[in-house]
Amino acid sequence: MPGRKALRADIIAGMEHNMEGQGMFNYRFDEIEKQTTGIIFNIEHFHVHDGEGIRTNVFLKGCSLHCPWCCNPESICPAPQIAQYQKLCTGCGKCAEACPERCCIRKEDGYVITDFSKCSVCGKCVSVCPAGARELFGKRMSVSEVIAEVEKDSAYFLNSDGGLTLSGGEACLQPEFARELIRAAHRRYIPAALETAGAVEWERLWKAAEEADEILMDLKTTVSMQFEKIGRFSLETVTTNLRMLAEAGKNITLRCPIIPDFNDHEGHIQKIAETAGNVGVKKIDLLPFHQLGRHKYAAIGRNYRMADYPEIKDTDVKKMAETLRKQGFQVSIGG
């Protein structure tokens, strides 16, 4: 596996080779970057997880799974959507006046609720809300717009061996956009990691993953029946995709959420070790369940089923990490 510096040198060497004779090439790349668009719901700077060094994370909207513990529930629906944070609402009524669909409804107590089923996501309520109680999740952006934002952090990437991370949602559901974003990053000498749950057809996964420098691949469970409850793909799809990525020589880290009453037991940790060992993956991130995303469920009108679940104890996760380290894996907690 090449080191990070060698990887960056490879990218630069590859680009210099590809861009010999320039002119038309630059014009063509410009056009591709302007014309290729995707729906994203966030760009976050200065992440220290989700890949090596300092990362800028681009979150693509749409997911093929519906994990009940998801801390980004706004990522699941592929289309833009509106959120209302009831706690911030002052009941001023400006959204109700602005809403063309009459889906901001004033209640008897003076506060306003949203009928999401009628919302056309025009965004008018967001711009008039003086309390910051409304938010629009998701907007269509071109590769050139996204990469311009990512490129602002180039100096941090260089000093930390960091780069761009494509996250979600499931980035591979927008494979053309993901691929072109990775290419755009490489044209600017920025390494790119792809985060995926692997629950997509191989063709889509590979289109997004082929040119990524690192793959952060989720392993939610090692039990087929459990996996069927969180998505329409089989666990076998995920493990086959994992094997094929490994056979293609990709630099993979397995990302394993540890969820109470789901997979927080020693048997699962042993299965993670087996799965990783079988495909030669050495790096494992354990991601303990937390409640940081809970406020977003009500805001987008979704039911949150894990409100009463306790967070996983530090000592328990450390023990799991130790079990894996003893078997020769490099393990991080929290990514």
Contact residues toward ligand SF4 (CB under 6 A) are 63, 65-67, 70, 72, 75-76, 82, 84, 89-95, 98-99, 101, 103-104, 112, 114, 119-125, 128-129, 131, 133-134, 168-170, 197
DSSP class of residue 173 equals G
DSSP secondary structure letters along 212-232: -SEEEEE---S-HHHHHTTBS
Q: Supply the minimum distance, in Å, between the C-beta of residue 88 and ligand SF4.
A: 7
SS3 of 136-160: EECEEEEHHHHHHHHHCCHHHHHHH
Q: Supply the minimum distance, in Å, between the C-beta of residue 15 and ligand SF4.
A: 31
Q: Give me the half-sphere count of Cα atoms (radius 13 Å) on the Cβ side of residue 271.
A: 15
Q: Supply the minimum distance, in Å, between the C-beta of residue 207 and ligand SF4.
A: 18
Q: Supply the minimum distance, in Å, between the C-beta of residue 102 and ligand SF4.
A: 8
Report the relative pairing of strands 37-47 and 139-142 from DSSP bridges: antiparallel
Report the relative pairing of strands 214-218 and 192-196 from DSSP bridges: parallel
Q: Supply the minimum distance, in Å, between the C-beta of residue 26 and ligand SF4.
A: 35
Burial class (CB in 10 A: 0-12, 13-18, 19+), 180: buried
Q: Supply the minimum distance, in Å, between the C-beta of residue 232 and ligand SF4.
A: 12
Q: Supply the minimum distance, in Å, between the C-beta of residue 324 and ligand SF4.
A: 21
Q: Supply the minimum distance, in Å, between the C-beta of residue 304 and ligand SF4.
A: 12
For residues 130 and 122, give the distance between their C-alpha atoms in angstroms, rounded to a whole number. Answer: 17
CB 94 within 8 A of CB 128: yes
For residues 179 and 195, give the distance between their C-alpha atoms in angstroms, rounded to a whole number. Answer: 13
Name the residue nearer to ligand SF4 (CB basis): 128 or 333. Answer: 128
Q: Is the dihedral of CA 191, 52, 174, 81 positive or negative?
A: negative
Name the residue nearer to ligand SF4 (CB basis): 144 or 221. Answer: 221
Name the residue nearer to ligand SF4 (CB basis): 29 or 297. Answer: 297
Name the residue nearer to ligand SF4 (CB basis): 96 or 158. Answer: 96
Nearest Cα residue to 190 out of 248, 140, 149: 149
Name the residue nearer to ligand SF4 (CB basis): 124 or 250. Answer: 124
Name the residue nearer to ligand SF4 (CB basis): 156 or 202. Answer: 202
Q: Give me the half-sphere count of Cα atoms (radius 13 Å) on the Cβ side of residue 172.
A: 28
Name the residue nearer to ligand SF4 (CB basis): 34 or 66. Answer: 66
Backbone phi and psi for residue 231, each to the nearest 5 degrees, phi listed first: -175, 170
Name the residue nearer to ligand SF4 (CB basis): 78 or 93. Answer: 93
Rg of the chain's alpha carbons, rounded to an integer?
21
Name the residue nearer to ligand SF4 (CB basis): 18 or 127. Answer: 127
**Residue with the two structure tokens 């009500």:** 298
Q: Supply the minimum distance, in Å, between the C-beta of residue 71 and ligand SF4.
A: 7
Burial class (CB in 10 A: 0-12, 13-18, 19+), 123: middle
